[in-house]
Amino acid sequence: MNKSPNMNKSPKKLREEAAKLVQQAEKIEQELADPMHALAYAIHQATCDGNHAEGCAWDYEIPADIERLGTTRNSYLQSAHRLTKNIKKIGLDISNKQLIELVEIFKEVSPIYNNR
């Protein structure tokens, strides 16, 4: 029988790690409370290949950077605004939640993620 890698950790250590994960989840939930920020996050998740040597600093910026011009997070926010504007321009009436779902579908069909 294979031992779980966590079997070598004390219950206290596991609880500390779990608490950190809960804090991270709460932080992301707070960041995504704004619908446009949530769309920007979805666009980042769908289009960033994780190669941060190519200029994506999403994981290195603080959440407030999303409103600061010149930051990676702000560039994704601008993409979210352009997407919303262009969706309305062609006459589609879909909610922000539906846009996020479409972006997530894009990630599923994207060759960036399917060729790994």
- Is residue 114 scored above 70 in pLDDT? no
With respect to residue 12, please indicate whether it lies within any of the assigned structural domains. Answer: no
With respect to residue 61, please indicate whether it lies within any of the assigned structural domains. Answer: yes
With respect to residue 22, please indicate whether it lies within any of the assigned structural domains. Answer: no
Q: Residue 9 — very low, low, confident or very high, per pLDDT cuts 50/70/90?
A: confident
Q: At what angle do helices 72-89 and 35-47 cross, to 10 degrees?
A: 100
With respect to residue 25, please indicate whether it lies within any of the assigned structural domains. Answer: no
Question: Average pLDDT, whole number, for the chain?
Answer: 84
- Over the stretch 54-80, which tens digit does the pLDDT of each residue have? 678 888 888 889 999 999 999 999 999
H helix intervals, 48-116? 72-89, 96-109, 111-114
Residue partners of 83: CB distance under 8 A and separation at least 6: 39, 43, 99
Q: Residue 53 — very low, low, confident or very high, per pLDDT cuts 50/70/90?
A: low
Number of domains in the chain: 1
- Is residue 113 scored above 70 in pLDDT? no
- Over the stretch 21-31, which tens digit does the pLDDT of each residue have? 887 777 777 66
With respect to residue 9, please indicate whether it lies within any of the assigned structural domains. Answer: no
Measured from the Cβ of residue 79, the count of other Cβ atoms closer than 10 Å reads 16
**Could you list the residue range(s) of the whole structural domain that residue 52 is in?**
35-114
